[in-house]
Structure 1
């Protein structure tokens, strides 16, 4: 029985070239949104299960990698073309060499995966609905159905989706919806970037079916709309190495804290710390448990409009500075 069950419909096999052109390293990992969330949940001490369709050779390799990480897998195995990518980071930037979407789920595969999700949701404290990398893997309506059925089964649902997938999940009803301001803008739900406009967009999502809404804004403070209350969530800005995976780390840490019995505001503070520290690393969805807890103590959560004179002055902290502060705190 896992603390958290994650719907990861099409896990990725990821191949990344690191180092320099003369002596590079090859890294092979499991990946995709749900996998990166699972990895952060494991870092924070929660047990995790994943339900997904594992396709062809990439799918078989990904299953082995997940088992090696201690992640429980409930697999629908099928033949075909699995999802995978090859990225080259030897220049210091992430360059896509090849990205393979994989085959869409057939009706039979989808029915089997849906049954696995409902069965395993009964054994979890919380459920995350994550999305595949490609739009054509499964119909959006699956998210509405899963959100409604898992909620009806008495399990809180957290979604980290965008666009039509998010809209579909909201129809089913969710405990918490996390989305970025750029995703809202792409969906036509946001024109400007003022806090008032963001709060209004969050309240529309709340009215559409989310009990609470979390909006992330890259280097700006995140916003949490919980009922009629709206708060900002500010974290010291870290020196960025790779921003990929920061949003998934944010979501996973929020769920880890909720699974531990923390309040939503306490959970969002942990999420902000995990997301901020993830950008200092090359590994997606990775982090250091103790560093995340230390940074959580420096996350500022306060009501919208109560920002003070220095609300727009983001503190920039390096990992070495954070470690030094931790040593001072222990004295």
Structure 2
């Protein structure tokens, strides 16, 4: 559905949205009405964000997803195309393109409500029609904004070909054991980490970690539950990585937060690009932390992501 590239290094199976961004002085309390600003539409979706981030970090990247037959589809695809992402495996289906309503406060914190739209059409059949690039890419990236059947189908194809699978379990939900065992790494924030571990243990009493030390314990427990490696992102406290060689903490880069929308996706995309070029987990995570910091210091989601010529913090 756009330019076609040579064999991809990163394939992202995931969502393509249009973000409707609203700005407020603070987030409203339940039942409260506030006046806001903004109201502009920008490209978004966790899958699309991660694909743009990977491509801008130099990885040949392909997107497997769907948009609607509405005018919003052009907005949703615009920065993917500009970043050079291969869109030949993006389907156009009847109905609306996915929508995310983002409310952004003066402190840079956000809340997001997602309406899936065309993303619900990303099923196992669509993924299987893209089996060749999924099997060819060094890294497959998955998230939770498309139906689970699509992620399972893609993971099985990539695993059979001996490829690496980066699973971003967001939005937070329990992860099937089969998918958890293929994650290398599983990438979650502190809240997602608690929910995924609770699902794996059949125990709803798992608390989100409050410190890097607690996140390290939780990351190790997620590895024990089946994930091959784990990254727990902690916002301004950095990230914790746990793998076969142990666990460690990487501090965040000090920046003034302007807009946190899409920063986690910037991290995932940059991590995937680093792993695809053969970097070890420590090196790839270190660069991804810097990419996420750059994104936080700039406005927008995809528009805030750095290219190879941008100076990282």
User: TM-score per shorter chain, which class?
Assistant: 0.7 to 0.9
Residue of 101, 105, 128 corresponding to 2:120: 105
Question: Is 2:17 the counterpart of 1:2?
Answer: no
- More deviation in 166-175 or 121-130? 166-175
Q: Secondary structure at the residue paired with 2:228?
A: strand
Question: Is 2:247 the counterpart of 1:230?
Answer: yes
Q: Secondary structure at the residue paired with 2:12?
A: strand
How many angstroms apart in 2 are the aligned matches of 1:91 and 1:196?
30
The correspondence of residues 1-80 of structure 1 with structure 2, limited to 5 A, is 1-8=7-14, 10-16=15-21, 27-57=40-70, 58-59=72-73, 61-63=75-77, 66-73=80-87, 74-80=89-95
Change (3 A) 1:48 1:201: same
Determine which structure has more spread, i.e. the larger CA radius of gyration.
1
- Once the 2 structures are TM-superposed, how far is the Cα of residue 95 of structure 1 from its aligned partner? 7.9
Question: Is 2:190 the counterpart of 1:184?
Answer: no
The correspondence of residues 131-210 of structure 1 with structure 2, limited to 5 A, is 131-132=144-145, 138=147, 140-162=148-170, 163-164=172-173, 166-168=175-177, 170-186=179-195, 188=198, 189-210=206-227
Tell me what 2:96 maps to: 81
Change (3 A) 1:291 1:85: same
Q: Is the 8 A contact 1:76 1:112 kept in 2?
A: no
How many angstroms apart in 2 are the aligned matches of 1:40 and 1:272?
12
Change (3 A) 1:293 1:122: farther
| Higher RCO (CA-CA < 8 Å; seq separation 6+) | 2
Q: Is the 8 A contact 2:124 2:149 kept in 1?
A: no
TM-score, length-scaled by structure 2: 0.77
Question: Is 2:272 the counterpart of 1:267?
Answer: no
Q: Which runs of 5+ in 1 are unaligned?
A: 19-23, 296-331
Q: Is the 8 A contact 1:11 1:32 kept in 2?
A: yes
- Once the 2 structures are TM-superposed, how far is the Cα of residue 229 of structure 1 from its aligned partner? 0.6
Q: Which string of whole-angstrom CA distances, capped at 9 and with x for unpartnered residues, describes residues 36-78 of structure 1?
A: 1122222212221100022231335534553344221112221
Q: Is the 8 A contact 2:239 2:251 kept in 1?
A: yes
How many angstroms apart in 2 are the aligned matches of 1:223 and 1:64?
33
- Once the 2 structures are TM-superposed, how far is the Cα of residue 105 of structure 1 from its aligned partner? 3.3
Over the residues paired in the alignment, what is the CA RMSD in angstroms? 3.3
How many angstroms apart in 2 are the aligned matches of 1:104 and 1:34?
10
Q: Which runs of 5+ in 2 are unaligned?
A: 1-6, 24-36, 199-205
Q: Kindly tell me the number of residue pairs found equivalent between the two proteins.
A: 284
Q: Which string of whole-angstrom CA distances, capped at 9 and with x for unpartnered residues, describes residues 143-164 of structure 1?
A: 3443233111121111111443
Tell me what 1:220 maps to: 237
Tell me what 1:303 maps to: none
Residue of 287, 304, 311 corresponding to 2:305: 287
How many angstroms apart in 1 are the aligned matches of 2:103 and 2:90?
29
Q: Which string of whole-angstrom CA distances, capped at 9 and with x for unpartnered residues, describes residues 198-247 of structure 1?
A: 22321232233322111111111311101151111013321111112111
TM-score, length-scaled by structure 1: 0.73
Q: Secondary structure at the residue paired with 2:259?
A: coil
Tell me what 1:325 maps to: none
- Once the 2 structures are TM-superposed, how far is the Cα of residue 80 of structure 1 from its aligned partner? 2.0
- Once the 2 structures are TM-superposed, how far is the Cα of residue 94 of structure 1 from its aligned partner? 7.7
Change (3 A) 1:85 1:129: closer
Q: Is the 8 A contact 2:223 2:229 kept in 1?
A: yes
Tell me what 1:245 maps to: 262
Change (3 A) 1:182 1:172: closer
- Once the 2 structures are TM-superposed, how far is the Cα of residue 122 of structure 1 from its aligned partner? 2.4
- Once the 2 structures are TM-superposed, how far is the Cα of residue 169 of structure 1 from its aligned partner? 5.9
